[in-house]
Chain A
Amino acid sequence: MTIGVNVDPNHPGAGPSADILKQSGFEGVRLTAKPDAINVQYITDMLAAGLTVVGVVGTGDNQDFVPPDPRVILQIYNEPDAATGTTITAIEYADLFATWSNKPEIRDNSSVQRWTAGFASGVYMYYLDFLEALRSRHPEVPMPDAVAIHPYEQDPDGLRRMAENYWLVGRAVTGAGIPVVATEWFQSVNPDLTAADDVIDPFQHALNDPDPQGVCTVWSSFFAWHDDQSDLPGGITNHAGVCLPEGIRLIAAIGGDSSWCG
């Protein structure tokens, strides 16, 4: 089980060093894989430090860039089922997944892991339609190495139901099953850190093995490192590099050390 965090080295303050990540208890990062020098160097540095890197590809800003290091886990596209600007049909997504899987540098290297995009709708039938389209339209393409979900606005029970449904779909199609990973999640917390109503810890434990109830056996990554990476009013740190309450809670939940952020 790898616990990661979503970063963006092209965004000021959103590309933490490997040392800070490790001290905080994180074992990996997820980011959009881009061809620019800053992004490429960041990926290189993370891998050199022994951290796992999940690179989102197939998005507009990825510009068809394939990270040259096969250790980078490729997550193909982002939220195809979200009712936002990224929406495509399950068949279109299967075709996109196949296009990327058939790139020579990916197809010819069986060690490259390919994860699905993070599904955000909770409509697991979309995942079923995708898998069936992938199998029928692109039989040469291996099944994904993991199916990703983005369980926003869920409590631990909702997360478990959601993950269970995605697991059952993968098992129904493949027999052996496809691991479920959470590549984005967020919980806002009480800013009073002395309060007992922490929601980060139970959600984190619902996500992760070796907790007996953990549903994501391979990976989970909090969104985001820096609160300016999105419209969400939260993250591990704010624009000044000071840890936010949810950041402190999460670092504590994964056994990390937040003393660096005051």
Chain B
Amino acid sequence: MPRVLLALAVLLLIATQSSARPANGEAAPEWELTPLAEPVLRLFTPSSGAFFAQTAQALMRSDDAGDSWQPVSLGPAETILEVDPTNHQVLYAAGPNGIYRTRDDASTWSLILPFSPDVGSIALALAVSPVDPNLVYLATGGGVHHPAESHFVRSRDGGATWQVLENRELALCTASVTILRPHPTSAQRVFRTAGCTAGRTFGTTLSQSTDAADTWTPVFNPEPLAAPLLGYPARLVGGQDGHFYLAVNRDRRLGGSSLFRTDDDGLTWTQVLAYRGGGTPAYTPAGEDPSAPNIWMGGLAYDPANPDHVDVGRQSYPDYFAAADGGGVSESWDGGQTWSDLGRQDIGAVNDLAWGIDGRNLYAATDQGVWRLRQAPLDEGD
């Protein structure tokens, strides 16, 4: 079966499996810490199976829904960038010399893009289209000696060849990419939030390309300077039937975060959740409490089969300079109209949230490790 058809079949399979809301009287599910009990930054749930977690130093893999974990060799590379969302045997990682790829379950790694003046010296983000896994996007930067430098390149053949699309170097700022997300059902569409942040920035724009990154159009916060209270788009989920949720963290000087929802493919956005407080006395908006903890959104998970079901993972910062000291997860079953805490809230600062591919488990990557929340079995809940 051609890979595109296989990917569509898997997506269809996933779309038909909905997360299950506990029935009245049924015991509420609870978080349990898996054996991976160290800070975890990011989760990968490719549709073909396997489950990956990125820690500060390594990539870990579980084949039993988090009951056990094994390290994955990155070969000459150092940092995992992406797992092909359709094929868990294909991984992309960054090393000191460039971008590496494995196609055989991390048995062998190949350098597919050496760093150079045209493509920078560090990787900022890499994303693979779930519709066409040969379509790969890569954002890079100039590293410590050129922090304001950024590049954007694209491969249409799974990393065999690359086309440089953007090169730029600004002044006195640090290039960053917080969102690089291909559309789940449209190969030509991809979303990106990229910027060069410094004291002068209070937010960034979420842009969309409909021509595989040749051109970009703002879809959220088109003029960050004019709307400093909006902030920095941090997490984007959705895409099915025009539904998206977007988590936006305000500048640390202002404090707070917001969740926005669109049901018209990004034409209009509605705020459905807001945390306020934190920031610094010189900047905290009137009516908000600078002494309150600053709550940022670090994880966002969404059920494609039930767009009204969304989960938000939080990070709580006690003051402007401090590291996060807590978090938790909030959940809505009505598209964000009402929210409730999901299970125990002492699971740590949430860096990522992801549903298992069968919709039975929700996973949280926190500064304590990978937590798992088992939902009711599908045949009982649905």
Which positions 191-228 of chain B face chain A at CB distance < 8 Å?
195-202, 204, 223-226, 228
Which positions 66-93 of chain B face chain A at CB distance < 8 Å?
none
Stretch of B129-137, B237-245, B264-272, B275-283 at the chain-chain interface: B275-283
A126 / chain B contacts, CB cutoff of 8 Å? 321
Contact call B171/A224, Cβ cutoff below 8 A: yes
Asked if B320 CB lies within 8 Å of chain A CBs, one says yes
Beyond A60-B147, A230-B196, whether A153 also contacts B172 by CB under 8 A is: no
> Interface SS of chain B: helix, strand, loop or mixed?
loop
The docked-state distance in angstroms from the alpha carbon of A32 to that of B149 is 14
The docked-state distance in angstroms from the alpha carbon of A214 to that of B174 is 31
Which positions 197-256 of chain A face chain B at CB distance < 8 Å?
223-224, 228-234
Asked if B366 CB lies within 8 Å of chain A CBs, one says no
* A63 nearest CB neighbor, chain B only: B145
B146 / chain A contacts, CB cutoff of 8 Å? 60-61
B144 / chain A contacts, CB cutoff of 8 Å? 60
Stretch of A44-52, A79-87, A103-111, A133-141 at the chain-chain interface: A79-87
Asked if A114 CB lies within 8 Å of chain B CBs, one says no
Asked if A102 CB lies within 8 Å of chain B CBs, one says no
Asked if B176 CB lies within 8 Å of chain A CBs, one says yes
B196 / chain A contacts, CB cutoff of 8 Å? 230-231
A121 / chain B contacts, CB cutoff of 8 Å? 199, 252-253, 280, 282, 320
The docked-state distance in angstroms from the alpha carbon of A11 to that of B170 is 8
Beyond A83-B252, A120-B199, whether A231 also contacts B321 by CB under 8 A is: no
Contact call B171/A11, Cβ cutoff below 8 A: yes
B200 / chain A contacts, CB cutoff of 8 Å? 120, 150, 152, 184, 186, 223, 230, 232
Taking the closest CB of chain B, its distance from the CB of A7, in whole angstroms, is: 9
Beyond A61-B147, A63-B145, A121-B280, whether A152 also contacts B202 by CB under 8 A is: yes
Number of interface residues of A (CB under 8 A): 45
Cβ-closest 10 pairs across A and B:
A120-B199, A122-B282, A85-B174, A83-B252, A60-B144, A84-B197, A150-B199, A229-B171, A82-B199, A8-B171
Hey, which bits of chain B sit against chain A, CB under 8 A? 143-148, 169-174, 176, 195-202, 204, 223-226, 228, 251-253, 280-283, 320-321
A233 / chain B contacts, CB cutoff of 8 Å? 223, 225
A122 / chain B contacts, CB cutoff of 8 Å? 253, 280-283
Max chain B Cβ within 10 angstroms of own Cβ: one of A79, A165, A224, A228: A79
Max chain A Cβ within 10 angstroms of own Cβ: one of B144, B146, B283: B283
Asked if A123 CB lies within 8 Å of chain B CBs, one says yes
Taking the closest CB of chain A, its distance from the CB of B228, in whole angstroms, is: 6
- Binary flags per residue of A47-91, CB closer than 8 Å to B gives 1, else 0: 000000000100111010000000000000011011111100100
Task: Return 27 A-B CB contacts under 8 Å, by A number.
Answer: A11-B169, A14-B171, A81-B321, A82-B199, A83-B253, A84-B174, A84-B199, A84-B201, A85-B147, A85-B197, A86-B174, A89-B321, A118-B199, A121-B199, A121-B253, A121-B320, A123-B280, A152-B200, A153-B283, A154-B282, A184-B199, A188-B225, A188-B226, A224-B171, A229-B170, A231-B173, A232-B200
